[in-house]
Structures are given as C-alpha cells and as structure tokens.
C-alpha cells in the first residue's frame, strides 16, 4: 500500500530505489581493494594517504549531508536523486583516465556530493512512497540491496584491482544504468499539506533524542565495519604469505561474503513475525560485530591457510548479520520519526553520520595501527573490545529501563483471550488479526463497531488494546509502588472499555484478545501493530480536541504503524 502521494510507485521504481541503495554503503569503498596498488603506482608508502581515496568522499558527505537533505526537501527528492546520480557517475569514472593523485582526490571529494544525495533521497523516498507493512518490506529489501551492493562492488573491484590500479574506477558506470531507470520510474511525491506533518512530528515523544541515538548507532557500526575494507589489502599479506598474490581478489570476496550475509539476514528478519525491540536489535548487532572482530584477530595466530580462510569467512558472516540487523532498524526508525517535510534533512543526517564514521575510520585506524605495533590483528582485537563495550552498555541500559518502568519485555499488565463459537467458513479473509485501540469514549466505540463489522466479514480475530498513559498516572505514587499503582488504575479504568469490545465480539462470533498495557499510547499501539494486519482506531479520544484532521495519537499511528490503519471519525453527534 502506497501513501497518497499523487504518484504510484511501480516495480521499476522499486528497482531504481534498490539499485541506488546498492551504492550507499560501499560507493566510496568500491575501489578499496586497489588501495595498495594505487600506493605503488604513485610511490606512496603512507597508508593514511591512500586511505584518503575512501575517506574524502565520506568527508564530503559529512560536509554536505544536511545541505543536500535541505535541498531535497526544498526542491524535490526526485530531482536531487537524478542530479546526484549524474555527479556520482561522472566523478566516479573520471579517475580511470587521470594520472595525477591530487586530481583523483578532487574527483573523490566531488563523488561524495553525489553519494550524499543518493543516500538521503533514496531512503527518504521509501518513507514517502510506501507505508505500513509495505514500507517495512521495502526497508528490508533496501538493506538486502546494500548487502548485494557490497558483494558486487567489492568482488568486481577486487578482480579489477588485480588487472590494474585504475580499473576499479570503472565500477561507477553502474550509475549510468540507474540514471536511465530513474528517468522512467521516479517522480516527485505530492503531499496533502503541512498541517498533518507538523502535528505528527510534534506528537512523537522524544523525537530528537531518538533520532540522535539512531545517528550514534549508525556511526559506531560504520566506524567498526569500515576498518575492514580500507585495510584488507594490507591485512591479508600480514596473516599469510600464500595469499599475497591474490590479496585484492580475496579482499573483495570476503567483503562480498559480508554483503551476502547482510542481504540474507535482512530479508529473513524483515519477514519474521517475531522482531526484537529497537533497543535489543542494536544490542545484539554490536554483540555480533564484537564476535566478528574477535575472529579477525585469530588468523594472525594460525598457520594453516584453509583454517585461516574458514575463520575469516565466519567473521565476515557475523559482521554481515550485524549490518543486516542494525541498518534496517535504523532506517525504519528514522522513517517513522520523520515527516514528508523533514525526511530529506533526517535522512541527510543519516548519510552524514554514516560517512563521518567512514572518514574517521580511514584516518584513525592507520594511526592506531602504528600505535599497536603495525599489526592489523591487534587493531581488530582493539575494535572487538570497543564493540563489546557498546554491547554491554546497551544491554545494561535496556535492563535499567525495564526496571524503571516496572515491566518485563512487554508492557502488558493484563491479557485475556475469549474464544467465540462460530461456523467454519471458506470465504476469503483479507485480515487475520485486527488491532482495536480503545479508551471507552464514544468515538472509540464507533471505531470498535467498524472493526467488528470488518472482522465478521473477514473471519478475523480482534485484539482490543487499552493503553494507560504513563505520564497521566506518573503522580500516583513514588518509587517501587508506581508500577503497582499504575496496574491497579489500568485494570479499573480499562474494564468498561474492554467489556464493550468483548460483548460485541461474542454477539458476532468473533475471537477477541484483550490487552492492558501502560506506556505512551501512540508508541504502544505502533509496537502492537507489528502483530496485526489492520489497525482500526477512532480519530478523537477523551480529550475531544477539535483537530483539523484527526486525533494526535491516531495521526502518529497512521504515520508509524507496521500495517494499514483505518481511522474512524464519527461526524454526527
């Protein structure tokens, strides 16, 4: 289901977005396997100088990221995407014909401007072209495409590097293909006005803090990950003399394995019904990164080439799994936290921090290499320790948040399922489970009636959900008694609202599960929508505010839910 954008994305649109996404992560690092050869060609012994080939595009993104995002919001994301693809292709291929290192570096810096626009606009367009489960699915496809891009770009780059130092720059001809598909399939989204966007943005609790955490997570992940492509052509000769002759190709293959693992994990995870919370997704992503980095330290202590290769393959798979878990989690979170008017800037910030990490890694890692005795196995051992510390910090943070809220993994304080007697039917069913948030208000009950009718026609079950607003009940008590007081208040205030749903469901032969949770209503409803095929909610709650479009909670649910949302507004009094 696409949003009401005035343009319906088709299959070619999706192909264009995914092709563009392929170059987001490895667009700058596609020539990484040739760094050693480039150094030899220009007589450069300092690894930090050749690392500028990778670092300068990242620096350019860091400088221009927010600006390109602003331009995309101001002049149109489709236009900026096309312009960025042209810059990317021209500046990517031009170094193939150059024989001056300084000129090559200038081209690489300008390449970063193209990468900035591609990264921010392609990701922002996903959030505007698709919504609900379709958006989640496309984000999974995008993460997989990034992984496939790693495989294709790095494997081909490694092969071409063994032919000649400048041949990997021909990889950027892929941009010409994307330009052609973009001309025929990408159009500017049209929006329904700023009012709803402004309200939805304001109604997302802790929006700025959550966006900042997403930026931190992608920065840390990319800093760790990019220590590999910029140094593999040097690392491999250190761990095995037998692999020196094929170091470029092997570096590309290993990074390609990372891409395959990332793509596979992203596709499987995006289709999985049991997903981790965002906090736990970040936690496990850094754990897998830590273990993968530890395995990068091990080959330096081995002599058997086959065993070395096996360890490296396992390491790359784990790093790929880490990327496949963290990247779609970050992109999904940022898509839900941005609006049509701000998505360019938000995704521009994503591109900035991703590439600041790339630039920082390219500059800092060579210095760390020297400080740790010029052994890359020591560098990867140190990075493993950093990743493990991040894992522990996130784990402790998650446990403390659970303790403070007085909940377990779920905020549920009461759940009950009522089975109804009904005949078995072979009629087509569009929705298996319908989520109905209710607060017992007249408008909410109007939505319940609509949900019952839909469930009856589709043989659906209903999950009736009552959310106790934690901020509303925060003053009930202090310290350790807060959770119990909130539980008591929730059971008391939710009874009538849920009894109304259960009564109607029984009359119509519909299975119903009731859930009482405490938290922020919009957030809890969005989280529960992961387990539903449709959300049916009222546009106004007990506050009865006369909003121009719909109630604030409903607005947020419409923007952020993982499935289609039906908002029922009772106009007659």
Nearest residue to 57 (alpha-carbon basis) of 358, 367, 323: 358
Distance of CA 369 to CAs 110, 189, 302, Å? 28, 47, 20
Higher model confidence: residue 542 or residue 177?
177
- Mean pLDDT throughout 38-52? 80
**Model confidence pLDDT, tens digit, residues 495-547:** 778 888 888 888 888 888 888 876 778 878 888 888 888 899 887 544 444 33
Report the alpha-carbon distance of residue 140 to residue 38 in Å, rounded: 36
Residue ranges of domains in the chain: 11-405, 412-568
3-state secondary structure 32-45: HHHHHHHHHHCCCC
Q: Which tens digits make up the pLDDT trace of 431-451? A: 888 999 988 888 888 888 888
Q: SS3 string of 49-76?
A: HHCHHHHHHHHHHHHHHHHHHHHHHHHC
Per-state percent for the chain, helix, strand, coil, to nearest 5: 70, 5, 20
Write out the two tokens for 372.
């740790």
Evaluate if residue 182 carries a pLDDT over 90: yes
Instruction: Give the domain 412-568 fold.
Output: Rossmann fold (3.40.50)
Residue 537 CB: number of other CB atoms within 10 A?
Answer: 30
How far apart (Å, rounded) are the C-alpha atoms in residues 89 and 84? Answer: 9
CA triple 225-337-546, angle to 5 deg: 175
- Write the secondary structure of 471-504 as one string of H (helix), E (strand) and C (coil): CCCCCCCCHHHHHHHHHHHHHHHHHHHHHHHHHH
Strand partners, 435: 463, 535
Q: What's the CATH code, domain 11-405?
A: 1.20.1250.20
Token digits for 316? 């790359």
For 275-319, how does the pLDDT look when each residue is reduced to its tens digit (9 = 90+)? 677 788 899 999 999 999 899 888 878 878 888 889 889 998 999
- CA pair distance 216, 279, nearest whole angstrom: 13
pTM of the entire predicted model: 0.60
Residue with tokens 């312009």: 83
Q: Is 318 helix (H, G, I), strand (E, B) or coil?
A: helix
> Mean pLDDT, to the nearest integer, of 155-163?
79
Short-list 278, 296, 380, CA closest to 332: 278
Q: Which residues lie closer than 8 Å to 115 by C-beta, 6 or more apart?
A: 23, 24, 27, 28, 57, 60, 61, 84, 88, 351, 355
Q: How far apart are CA 147 and CA 258, in angstroms?
A: 7
Q: Write out the two tokens for 146.
A: 């990034």
Per-residue pLDDT, averaged over 67-77, amounts to 84
Instruction: State how far the Cα of 565 lies from the Cα of 504, in Å rounded to an integer.
Output: 21
What residue has token string 């309200």? 199
């Amino acid at each position: 289901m696409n949003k009401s954008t005035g343009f319906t994305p088709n299959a070619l649109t999706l192909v264009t977005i995914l092709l563009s996404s392929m170059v987001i992560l490895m667009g700058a690092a596609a020539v990484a396997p040739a760094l050693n050869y480039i150094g030899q060609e220009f007589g450069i012994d300092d690894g930090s100088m050749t690392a500028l080939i990778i670092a300068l595009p990242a620096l350019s993104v860091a400088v221009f990221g927010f600006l390109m995002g602003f331009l995309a919001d101001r002049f149109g994301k489709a236009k900026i995407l096309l312009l960025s693809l042209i810059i990317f292709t021209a500046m990517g291929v031009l170094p193939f014909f150059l024989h001056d290192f300084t000129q090559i570096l200038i081209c690489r810096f300008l390449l970063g401007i193209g990468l900035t626009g591609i990264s921010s606009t392609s990701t922002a367009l996903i959030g505007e072209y698709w919504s609900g489960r379709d958006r989640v699915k496309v984000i999974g496809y995008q993460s997989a495409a990034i992984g496939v891009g790693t495989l294709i770009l790095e494997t081909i780059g490694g092969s071409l590097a063994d032919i000649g130092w400048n041949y990997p720059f021909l990889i950027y001809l892929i941009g010409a293909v994307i330009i052609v598909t973009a001309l025929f399939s990408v159009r500017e989204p049209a929006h329904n006005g700023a009012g709803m966007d402004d309200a939805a943005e304001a109604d997302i609790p802790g929006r700025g803090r959550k966006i900042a955490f997403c930026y931190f997570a992608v920065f840390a992940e990319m800093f760790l990950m990019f220590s590999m492509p910029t140094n593999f052509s040097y690392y491999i000769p250190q761990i095995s003399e037998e692999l020196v002759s094929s170091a470029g190709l092997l570096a590309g293959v290993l990074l390609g394995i990372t891409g395959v693992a990332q793509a596979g994990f992203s596709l499987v995870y995006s289709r999985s019904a049991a997903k981790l919370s965002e906090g736990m997704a970040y936690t496990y992503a850094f754990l897998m990164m830590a273990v993968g980095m530890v395995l990068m330290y091990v080959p330096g202590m081995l002599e058997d080439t086959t065993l070395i290769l096996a360890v490296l393959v396992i390491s790359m798979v784990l790093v790929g799994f880490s990327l496949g878990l963290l990247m779609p989690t970050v992109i999904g979170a940022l898509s839900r936290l941005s609006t049509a008017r701000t998505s360019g800037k938000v995704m521009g910030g994503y591109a900035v921090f991703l590439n600041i990490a790339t630039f920082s890694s390219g500059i800092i890692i060579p210095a760390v290499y020297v400080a740790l005795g010029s052994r890359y196995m020591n560098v990867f051992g140190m990075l493993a320790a950093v990743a493990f510390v991040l894992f522990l910090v996130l784990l402790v943070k998650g446990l403390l948040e659970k303790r403070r809220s007085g909940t377990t993994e779920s905020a549920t304080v009461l759940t009950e399922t009522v089975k109804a007697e009904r005949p078995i039917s072979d009629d087509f069913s569009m929705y298996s489970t319908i989520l109905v948030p209710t607060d017992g208000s007249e408008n909410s009950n109007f939505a319940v009636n609509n949900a019952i009718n839909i469930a009856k026609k589709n043989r659906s079950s209903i999950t009736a959900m009552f959310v106790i607003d934690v901020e509303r009940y925060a003053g009930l008590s202090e310290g350790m008694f807060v959770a119990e007081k909130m539980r008591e208040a929730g059971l008391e205030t939710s009874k009538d609202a849920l009894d109304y749903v259960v009564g109607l469901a029984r009359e119509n032969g519909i299975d119903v599960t009731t859930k009482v949770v405490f938290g922020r209503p919009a957030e809890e409803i969005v989280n529960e929508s992961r387990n539903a095929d449709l959300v049916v909610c009222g546009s106004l709650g007990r506050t009865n505010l006369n909003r121009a479009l719909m109630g604030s909670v409903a607005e947020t649910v419409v923007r952020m839910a993982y499935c289609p949302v039906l908002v029922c507004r009772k106009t007659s009094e």
